[in-house]
Every structure is written in structure tokens, then in C-alpha cells.
A and B are shown apart, each in its own frame.
Chain A
Amino acid sequence: MDTEHVAAPARRSPGAWLLIAVPYFWLFLFFLAPFLIVVKISLSQTAIAIPPYVPTFDLSEGWQAFQEALSAFSFENYVWLTEDALYWRSYLSSVSIAAVSTLITLLIGYPIAYGMARSPQSWRPTLLMLVILPFWTSFLIRVYAWIGILKNEGLLNQLLLTFGLINEPLVILNTNIAVYIGIVYSYLPFLVLPLYASLERLDGTLLEAAEDLGCPSWKAFWKITVPLSLPGIIAGCFLVFIPAVGEFVIPDLLGGSDTLMIGKTLWVEFFNNRDWPVSSAVAVILLLILVIPIVLFQNQQQKMSEKEG
């Protein structure tokens, strides 16, 4: 936001207020209000009914009833989450799978972004397009494509067997390794794009100066390139890590029955066990885990856009 264009609120016409009100109201109704309902239902009791929960309080009964209800809130779903090892193990394993995948994505993505930034100017639009294109193609399809490659009689095993590199098929599909591959593959463009943007802006003369002064190139890389591309690294890692923690499709299709990820646990709780209050509680805790990285990410984005403006 650049301060020069900030209009004084007093000058704002009714039309300008309407402009703000329409998207504001929409997001309030369809984004914020639903979260309050999730919190409310996470405090309700499970029931065999349609919908399958007993509301703890009803706002239509007025303030008095609301106050009474407050004292009757049931935290038993949250207690349940701490008692059953399945849940906290799911949370822990989601965070660790997401963290490891983010690190692998960074190790693979950095050389790609670096190569793009070092390529001749005329190649860059094409290379950029090649990174963006998979982002547009269906997520589900890209995950599905790996099943045919990774399964026991799949293409990878056939290839390795033909070349005699292995004697019996590797079991990759339905293990955590397949989940890592799936996350890295699906989220790679999210990391390469912001990283490339910050590497491209890097001033090449700094590296030349370092070289002239006798700095070895690996040292110049660590002392100059990496620190200056740090905003890109951070933005890219957040863009991979945050959605990966709550990922459902990848662990469900590529992971095995022992792959614990919270998105999958929530899905099973909701669709198979039809336990809405517990799945709401799972969602609330997941959100609490992600609130810190999301806020950090937003602050960083805001700082970057202020710098550009």
C-alpha cells in the first residue's frame, strides 16, 4: 500500500462504501462465519441423528439461554483428542511429513530456480511458463500419475528390473516415501516461483565484486546469493508447508494404511465415522497449529508488497 493514495475516510462516497461492503460481506458470511460454526459444533455432543450432533446452545433463545449454555459447554471432544493416541500422533506425523517434504522440495527447487535465474533472458518466459503449467493441471491427475509409476508392477520397478539394478520390485506405493514424492512433486512449482522471483532480482555485480576480491564461488553463494534470496525461500517454504500439513489427497492415494496425516484422519472421522463434533475439534486444533505459520506468512507478504509499492 502506498500512503500517497490512501484516501481520507471522510471523503468516501456511498458507492465506495458499497465497494468495500460487497466482498467484505461475502467473505464474512462464507469464510469467517463457518469457522465460528465449526468451533460451536466442536463443543457439541455426538448423536445418532441428522445432522449427527446435539447443539449445546441455541442463539435464538436469547442472551439468558446463551449464558446458561456457556457453562454447559462440552469440552469432551477435546479431551477425547488428547486421550486417543491416534489424534496427536496424526498431528505430529503431519507436521513432520510436511517439514521433511518442504526441505526436500527446497533442495530440489533451489537449483531449478537458480538455473532459471541464470539462464539467458530469452529463455526465461518459456521456463517460467513450464513451471506454471503443471500448477494449472489437475492436482488429482498429477497425484494419480504417480500411482502407475510407483506401484510394484509399475513403470519405475520395470525400468529398474530391466536394467538389472534391482532383483525384486521395490515397495514404494502405499508407504511414506510415496507421500514424500507426491508432496514434493505437487508443491514444487509453489516453491520455485517465489524463489525465482527473488533470485532474478539479485544484483549480479555483487557476485562479480566478490569474485574480483578473490572470494571462492561457493562462499559467494553462501554469503551473498542465499541471504539475498531468503525472502523467496521463506515464502516458498510456507507455501509448501502450510497446505502440506492438512493434505488429504496425497496421503490417501499414495500413502499406506499406516500413513497418519491429520487431513486424512479428519476425512475418515467425518465421512466414515460420521462424527461431526470430533472432526470439528480436529479442524479447530489443526487451525491453531497452522495459525502461527499463516500469520508469519501474511506479515512477510505484506512487508514484501510494501517494499515493492
Chain B
Amino acid sequence: MTRGPTWFNITSLVLGFSFLYLPIVLLVIYSFNDSRLVTVWGGFSTKWYASLLQNDQLLDAAWVTLRVAFTSATIATVLGTLAALVLVRSGRFIGRSLFSGMIFAPLVMPEVILGLSLLLLFVAMDTARGFWTVMLAHTTFAMCYVAVVVQSRLVGFDKSVEEAAEDLGCPPVKTFFLITLPIILPGVIAGWMLAFTLSLDDLVIASFTTGPGATTLPMKIYSQVRLGVTPEINAVCTILVGLVTIGVIAASLVTKRQHAQRERDERAAFGADG
């Protein structure tokens, strides 16, 4: 579309984004509230953040969550990248539509079903439930998101560079690490970050698949929220929102810079030719 925005467009953008952001902004503001009453403003204070540092249970849960998220995101990125390569590169093979079905279905499948089915699997396998089962569960649904993100990067991929390397005698595995991976890297990194935040965020699947000693932060937050809104929970949420915001903005700046660098390189290369 080429024509400029009308007043109607601008109003709907302003209203739409206020709707998206106001609740989170209010939550952040009230985490600095001195009063315990969540709706009465009692002056600026950081005491809820200080009290978080004393809350060992919450810190333990945060540590478990970070470990689960880091491990599952890393494995999911490897598996998801492989799955994306299969989807885009492997052509037809027996069971291909089953394979792509298994990649896309978890994206829309209700979490209660995924959680329940994985729990029943772990029970059937007679596995002790805890850190590892939550990690495996998160890996499984996160790898599908990674596959979709990496796939979109692979679709717009110039295959001639790879073919050139192979014609010059480069073995396929080496071609992958020297050529394919660097080109799809932004997609792989975005996939890892998505997998990491999905795991950080998940309540339902973790509740089903966890066992004693592996309470994650969302489970902790959920059990507290059921008792009511407290400034401490606001403070935890503010920290999480802050971390994610910094991460996403940093990642987008890095991609932007890489993009600009590549454009400069390309211009320089063409300039040298002519």
C-alpha cells in the first residue's frame, strides 16, 4: 500500500498500542509502589525488589527455570534446525506429510493436551519426574517453533553458494558449517531466543510434567497469583519483562547492524567490479 495514513489509521494505532502496553506499564509502575495495597499509590520505593532477594523459594524457582530454559532452548535449536533443513531440503520421503504435521500441530495444540500426553508418556516409561522431564517436554514443543523460524530463513536462501562449494570439493558437513549455518544464523539465533522465552514462560506443560524439587518460576508465580495481587509478584514480573525487552531490542539491533554491514559489503564488491 502506498497512500499515507489517515487520522483514522493513526487513532487506531494509538488506541491499539495503548491497549497492548498499558497493562504492562501499570504493572511496572505499581512494582515501585511503597504501599502494600496494590491500588493505592504510597510513594516510590524499591523495597519489594529488596525483599525478593530474601525470598529463597522464589530464587530457587528462578534458577530451575533458567536451567530448564537454557538446556531445552539449546537442544531445541539443534533439533529444530535439523527439522527445518528436512522440511526445505529433503524433498519427498515416506511420511513427509506426517513429519510436517508433527512440526505444525504443536504450534496450535492446546497446552493442556501436550502437557497431559507427555506426562502419561513419562509415567508409562516409569521415569522419575523433575528437571529432566520438564526439559524434554519444553524441548519438544520449542523445537517446532525453531523449525518454523529457521525454515522461513532457509526458503529465501541462495543455493548457488552451497553448490559452488560442493563443486569445489567441499564435503557436505563442512559446507553446512562454513556456508549454510552462517547465512541462516540470524534465524537460528532468533529460534533459540524464542525457545528460551517460551520455556521461561510456560506454566501448563511444566505443571503436568514436573516432579518434586523442580518448581519453576511460572508455577511459583501462579500459586501466588491465586492468593491475590502482591507488589512482590509485580516486582518479579517487572524484572522478567525488563530482561525480555532488553534481549529482544539488543537482538534486533544486532540484526540491523549485520544487515547494514552486508549491504555495505555488497556495494563495495559491486563498486570494485565496475
CB contact between A136 and one of B110, B229, B244 (< 8 Å): that residue: B244
Select A108's contact among B1, B19, B101, beta carbons within 8 Å: B19
B34 to chain A, nearest CB (A): 16
Chain A residue with Cβ nearest B123: A51
B: contact size bracket:
35 or more
Q: How far is the CB of A77 from chain B (nearest CB, A)?
A: 14
Q: What residues on B are CB-neighbors of A118 within 8 Å? A: 1, 3-6, 9
Contact of A144 among B173, B229, B252 (CB under 8 A): B229
Summarize A's interface: helix, strand, loop or mixed.
helix
- With A115-B12, A118-B5, A200-B1 as known contacts, state yes or no: A27 contacts B140, CB within 8 Å: yes
Contact check, A9 vs B155: say whether CB atoms are below 8 A apart.
no
Task: Establish whether residues A249 and B244, one from each chain, have CB atoms under 8 Å apart when the complex forms.
Answer: no
The reply to whether B143 and A23 contact each other, CB–CB distance below 8 Å, is: yes
Contact in complex: A286, B113 (CB < 8 Å): yes
What's the nearest-Cβ distance from chain A to residue B90, in Å?
6
**Is A22 in the interface zone, CB < 8 Å from B?**
yes
For residue A114, which residues in chain B have a CB less than 8 angstroms away from its CB?
A: 9, 12
- Cβ of B26 within 8 Å of any chain A Cβ, yes or no, is yes
Give per-residue flags for B111-155: 1 if the beta carbon is below 8 A from chain A beta carbons, else 0.
111001110110110000000000011011001000100000001
The reply to whether the CB of B50 lies closer than 8 angstroms to some CB of chain A is no
Contact A30 B118, beta carbon cutoff 8 Å: yes
Assembled-state Cα–Cα distance A247/B89 (Å): 35
B4-33 to A contact mask, C-beta < 8 Å, 1/0: 111011101100110111011011001000
Partner of A137, one of B93, B225, B245: B245
Q: Across the interface, do B229 and A147 meet the contact criterion of CB distance under 8 Å? A: yes
Name the A residues within 8 Å of B30 (CB-CB).
148
> Interface digits, B73-89 against A, CB 8 Å rule (1 contact, 0 not)?
00000011011011011
- Are the CB atoms of A280 and B19 closer together than 8 Å? no
**With the chains together, A117 CA to B221 CA distance in Å?**
38
Inter-subunit contact B99/A27 (CB<8 Å)? yes
**Smallest beta-carbon distance A125→chain B, Å:** 8
Query: Are A249 and B204 in touch, CB under 8 angstroms?
Result: yes
**B-facing mask of A221-244, CB < 8 A → 1, else 0?**
000000000000000001100110
Add 15 more A-B contacts to A20-B93, A129-B252 (CB < 8 A).
Answer: A34-B117, A37-B124, A115-B10, A151-B229, A207-B1, A208-B3, A243-B109, A248-B112, A249-B204, A266-B112, A267-B112, A276-B120, A280-B120, A290-B110, A305-B155
* Residue ranges of B at the interface with A (Cβ–Cβ < 8 Å): 1-6, 8-10, 12-13, 16-17, 19-21, 23-24, 26-27, 30, 38-39, 79-80, 82-83, 85-86, 88-93, 95, 99-106, 108-113, 116-118, 120-121, 123-124, 136-137, 139-140, 143, 147, 155, 159, 172-173, 194, 197, 200-201, 203-204, 207-208, 218, 221-222, 225-226, 229, 233-234, 237, 240-241, 244-245, 247-249, 252
- Could you jot down 8 A-B contacts, CB within 8 Å? A27-B102, A115-B10, A145-B23, A145-B24, A145-B27, A270-B116, A270-B208, A298-B101
